Structure 1
Amino acid sequence: MNARPEKLVVVGAGSWGTTFAKVLADSAIERGVVEPEIVLWARRPEVAEDITARKRNTDYLPDIDLPACLSATTDLAEAVAGAGLVVLAIPAQEVRGHLPTIRAHLDPAAVVVSLVKGLERGTDARMSELCAEELGLPDERFAVVSGPNLALEIARQEPTATVVASADPATAEWIAVRTSGPYFRPYTNTDVTGVEICGVVKNVIALAVGICDGLGYGDNSKASVITRGLAETARLVESLGGQAETLAGLAGLGDLVATCASPLSRNRTAGRHLGQGLSVEEATARLKQTAEGMKSVSAVVDLARRHGVEMPISEAMNAVIAGALDVDTLAGLLLARDLKPEGRS
């Protein structure tokens, strides 16, 4: 642990990537680190310039002042070189394309952390699996951070808790120390699979809740979707070897409730647009950033089918996104299941 460089890098300068970089910077300052080095990789030069010169990310966090120790670059190799922590905060479908550059410049002791809440289409791969495959990364050098973490609320320094999951408890603790601060409280566990799957599927469920909202359905309908969504998430988690306890925690129920309830949620917002009659293309155009549920739902359904897991809400969302199901028929489809005891549904 002592040989790991203290430079910290976040790959992705959207709202959550920028906010997480702020969390890292504020934690370093709180711990008394002298001249902390926190670097963001941004795809667009104007975003990098905004962060470095003006300490703002006008596109994604327009009213937030960023710490003076934050800088940004569009050179991924430069960003990653010499870093002890590399955080992935880009859309799931873009991760594989960036990993060769990261691998070429990754410090031998560096830890990679995923903030990504999606599966890769075509392979159904979780980010832990992608990093193991493409970076040759052992389990003890990978972690995932997930929980009820709406970026703007955290950027405003509103109290928030999260989960850091790694197969190696010492790695999770090392990351927790570097993210802990006055407004951000990390907890640790070893259930990487469970935490990843909870983060992926909750976005799909939030799409369904958003559609209910757009259709004018009330809280009973939305609460039913959230509860049944948690049940189908649990079935997939357990089939993949994850822990049931994760579903009751911050990465499970906590993240699901926040994403389904908040107007800040991109996935709920996308679903609301669909419920109001917009096409998938029109709903996507309204959003500034990726709604991972729309991108990953086909992979979620494929993964569930391969493991023999029933996920009716996810199946319905996949059909909606594919244009095979009209949102007006959604309620009937979600409720049209055989009568059975709740625990078996």
Structure 2
Amino acid sequence: MTIISVVGAGVMGTAITFPAADNGHAVRLVGTHLDEEIIRSCKTSGLHPKLRRPIPPSVQPFFYAEIGEALQGAEVIVLGVNSRGVRWAAEAIAPYLQPEQIILMVTKGLESTPDGKLMILPDVLAARLPEPIRDQVHYAAVGGPSIAGELAARRHTSVVFVSRKAEILPRLQAIFSTPYYHIWTSTDMIGVEVCVALKNAYALATGLAQGVLERLPEDIAGAKNHNYAAAIFAQGLAETAYLVQLLGGNLETVFSLPGAGDLYVTTQGGRNSRMGRLLGMGMAYSQAVEEMPNETIEGVDCVLAVMPAIESLIAQGKIAADALPLLRELHRILTRNAEVAFDFNSFFSKLSFAPPLRQRAQSD
């Protein structure tokens, strides 16, 4: 039996307790300072109010004030905070870390460094931990299509566990794999982390199509806007591939579970899609935010976090100016309260397609 401590009682952090508990491990769920009501509900009734279902009976809930007790003796510490909370989490767990512990991150995101580089969140976490413990623990992450409510309902879910240290992956796979939670392993930390971060941004972009549709007159034959959404989806995947390769990740990761799979499932609903719909309807971002109070929109955070590095890399000539038209348009929409205005002819410039005829005619 393994002791697993999950820091962050949000829906994904809690959902991963289900396969671990089903495998007979000792699972502790410790809330952050923002999770007091969730933990109180779990302690009193066993019900997780956001998942709207009971947590497994063997999972022990802990308030943040009890974090020392909750982390004691843990072999695996799962970080389930949002991307804004990674630095806080590093400071919260640092006093209790022991050599050889595994930190498994379900948090997704990227950051720009002051010198214009992109940094994956496991590296952000490691940089915030004190020496020598930062080099004595192991870092891993989860990527792939995993809606928390479906995992908690024990629906078939397929993911990738990734770490630069291949030797820890069989252990993690054995701890968490169940007949419904299917785990592949990878050492492509860059590829997986870039994919699972950018999917939030491109899912938001795909959600724009629904809002744009709602602004159009109703079609006499009921035509929707799936063609629009599919082009954005494909361009998002192409831009993800461009950045993964640029940063040294593997292209095959983009076209498997962490890339195409995770992007697809994220477009099917959730906060990113809702924000995209509001923006597509013509709302300025400042207005759309007011429609979703107290919600973390990871796609927005991702765009705002990565663009300083992207602009720096373009200025240095390391990224082609025309390589990321969708990401740059999202940034324009979010930072300038601008209306959606895609130039579809700018898409797919880095693929081996001839440009649209209209675009060729304009250049002749």
Residues 201-216 of structure 1: matches in 2 within 5 Å?
Answer: 201-216=198-213
CA contact (8 A) 1:12 1:40 kept: yes
User: 1:286 Cα shift?
Assistant: 2.3
Q: Which residue of 2 aligns with 1:104?
A: 95
Matched, 1:114 2:112: no
Answer yes or no: is the 8 Å Cα contact 1:199–1:251 preserved in 2: yes
Partners of 2:339 and 2:229 lie apart in 1 by 18
Paired with 2:136 and 2:339, the residues of 1 have a C-alpha distance of: 42
Q: Structure 1's 12 and 252: CA in aligned 2 closer, same or farther, altered over 3 A?
A: same
TM-score for both structures, normalised by structure 1: 0.87
Residues 50-92 of structure 1 deviation map (CA, whole Å, 9 limit, x = unaligned): 112322111x111x22111112222333333322111111111
Aligned to 1:173: 170
The higher radius of gyration belongs to 2
What is the alpha-carbon distance in structure 2 between the residues aligned to residue 344 and residue 266 of structure 1?
36
CA distance in 1, matches of 2:351, 2:101: 48
Q: Given the superposition, is the C-alpha separation of residues 206 and 158 from structure 1 closer, same or farther in structure 2, using an over 3 Å criterion? A: same
Match of 1:7 in 2: 3
1:318 equivalent in alignment to 2:331: yes
CA distance in 2 between partners of 1:157 and 1:81 (Å) = 28
Q: CA deviation at 1:337?
A: 5.8
- Paired residues for 1:117-196 under 5 Å: 117-120=108-111, 124-135=118-129, 136=131, 137-138=134-135, 141-196=138-193
Q: Letter of the aligned partner of 1:252 in structure 2?
A: G
- Aligned counterparts of 2:36 and 2:180: Cα–Cα separation in 1: 30
CA 287–166 in structure 1, closer or farther in 2 if over 3 Å, else same: farther
One-letter amino acid matched to 1:256: L
Separation in 2 of the partners of 1:276 and 1:288?
21
- Structure 2 contact 8–35 (Cα < 8 Å) conserved: no
Distance 1:275 1:78, change over 3 A: farther
Deviation at residue 334 of structure 1 after TM alignment: 4.3
Whether the 8 Å contact between 2:110 and 2:302 is mirrored in structure 1 is: yes
Q: 8 Å contact 1:41–1:79 — kept in the other structure?
A: no
**CA deviation profile, 1:113-137 (whole Å, cap 9, x unmatched):** 1111112366543212112212253
**What amino acid maps onto 2:345 in structure 1?**
L
Evaluate the alpha carbon distance shift between residue 182 and residue 341 of structure 1 in structure 2; reply closer, same or farther with a 3 A threshold. Answer: closer
Q: How many residues align?
A: 328
Residue aligning to 1:20: 16
Say yes or no: does 1:218 pair with 2:225.
Answer: yes
Q: Which runs of 5+ in 2 are unaligned?
A: 214-223, 356-364
CA RMSD between the two structures: 2.4
Q: Distance in 2 between matches of 1:166 and 1:339?
A: 33
Residue 319 to residue 288, structure 1, CA distance change in 2 (3 Å): same
2:275 is aligned to: 270
Among all aligned residue pairs of Structure 1 and Structure 2, give the percentage whose two residues are the same amino acid. Answer: 29
Residues 121 and 47 of structure 1: CA distance in aligned 2, closer, same or farther (over 3 Å): farther
**1:293 alignment partner AA:** G
Q: Is the 8 A contact 1:114 1:145 kept in 2?
A: yes
Written as runs of structure 1 = structure 2, the 5 A alignment for 1:277-288 is 277-284=282-289, 285-286=291-292
Amino acid at match of 2:280: G
TM-score by length of 2: 0.83
SS in 1 for 2:75: strand
State how 1:22-37 maps to structure 2 within 5 Å: 22-26=18-22, 28-29=23-24, 33=25, 36-37=26-27
Q: Which amino acid letter does the alignment assign opposite residue 300 of structure 1? A: V
Q: CA deviation at 1:338?
A: 9.2
Shift of 1:279: 4.0
Match of 1:298 in 2: 304
Residue of structure 1 equivalent to 2:60: 71
Q: Secondary structure in 2 aligned to 1:322? A: helix
Q: Is the 8 A contact 1:165 1:191 kept in 2?
A: yes
- Separation in 2, partners of 1:146, 1:274: 27
